[in-house]
Amino acid sequence: MAGGEVGTDDVWARWLLTDRHAGDEAYRAAIEDEVSRYTERVLDAAELRPGMTLLDLGAGDGSLALRALERLGGEAEVVLTDVSAPLLAHAKARLVAAGRGPRCRFHRLAADRLGGIDSASVDAVTSRAVLAYVGPRAAAFAEAFRVLRPGGRLSIAEPVFRDEAELALALAARVAAGGGAQDPLLPLIARWKAAQFPATAEGIAATPITNFGERDLLYLAQAAGFTDLHLAFCIDVGRARPVSWASYIGTSPHPLAPSLAMIMARDFSAGERALLEAALRPAVEAGGLPQTDRIAYLNGRRPTA
């Protein structure tokens, strides 16, 4: 399903299939290459083996399921769940086209409510960038534990956005203290970040994507009953790849955030839009803007006893 073919109001499908790359095919390829590294690491920790049944929570476009079946030569079954009907339909079409459809089952279910999945029925549970968006996160871990067979594996990779929210909070405080008088860009950047992440302590605590850190995932897994746990928190600081200005402002950092283009059109005057573009566009299109990614990898096991 190409970006222009996604005729849906479903925020999850629209972001994953279109807004994440703003219709820029080169940018899409670069993102998919990056995401594939997360996928491989999650599947490595899931300890794939022929004949197993794997449950992928929030399966999205089906990438992880497809890669699992490729690695196992089709000698496995994959259960895909997602809250998004358009994404499930997209994933199903993709897997059928790849000849993997008979090895897959599809359920429209939330990660914290897996009522359609039998207890102790799967050998591994995976997720990528799913639990970060779940409010009742403890319930999601409890459900993953329930559906796993004794000895089954949990393997997840989750973005941690708390630092982005703390930055939005700090920028808002600087503007409130008069910092915009010295730097006219500061209020614009503060408004931009506050539109994508909560910029108050209360908002950070109340918003699922910002009210947890990597250790919280570990504690929740422990409380659910998982053992042999391993947590790795990876922070990669680098420089962003060159991208067109249109693609840069057309994307957003997560499905619930507006793009910079939307923020500028809605919240900025013409003069403010011109000021921000003049300041950022040369660096965006040349590449080299600072970029930080924070990903928590967690894996563990349901005890056999």
Cβ-Cβ contacts under 8 Å for 34 (sequence gap 6 or more): none
Cβ proximity of 186 and 171 under 8 Å = yes
Residue-range domain boundaries for the chain = 3-160+212-239+293-301, 163-200+241-286
Other C-beta atoms lying within 10 Å of the C-beta of residue 159 = 18
Q: What is the pLDDT of residue 5?
A: 41
For residue range 100-133, list pLDDT tens digits in order: 999 999 999 999 999 989 999 999 999 999 999 9
One-letter identity of residue 188: L
Specify the pTM. 0.93
* Cα separations in angstroms, 192 against 124, 169, 189, 201, 251: 40, 12, 5, 17, 13
By the 10 Å C-beta count (0-12 exposed, 13-18 middle, 19+ buried), 65 is classed as buried
Q: What is the pLDDT of residue 206?
A: 96
Cβ proximity of 152 and 122 under 8 Å = yes
Q: What is the pLDDT of residue 305?
A: 78
Q: What is the pLDDT of residue 3?
A: 31
**CATH code for residues 3-160+212-239+293-301:** 3.40.50.150
For residue range 219-243, list pLDDT tens digits in order: 999 999 999 999 999 999 999 999 9
d(CA 254, CA 137): 18
Q: What is the pLDDT of residue 6?
A: 44
Q: What is the pLDDT of residue 8?
A: 61
Q: Which two tokens stand for residue 235?
A: 């922070």
* Cα separations in angstroms, 257 against 56, 94, 176, 207, 276: 24, 27, 23, 12, 19
Please identify every stretch of the chain with a pLDDT value under 70, giving residue numbers as ranges. 1-8
d(CA 133, CA 130): 6
Other C-beta atoms lying within 10 Å of the C-beta of residue 215 = 12
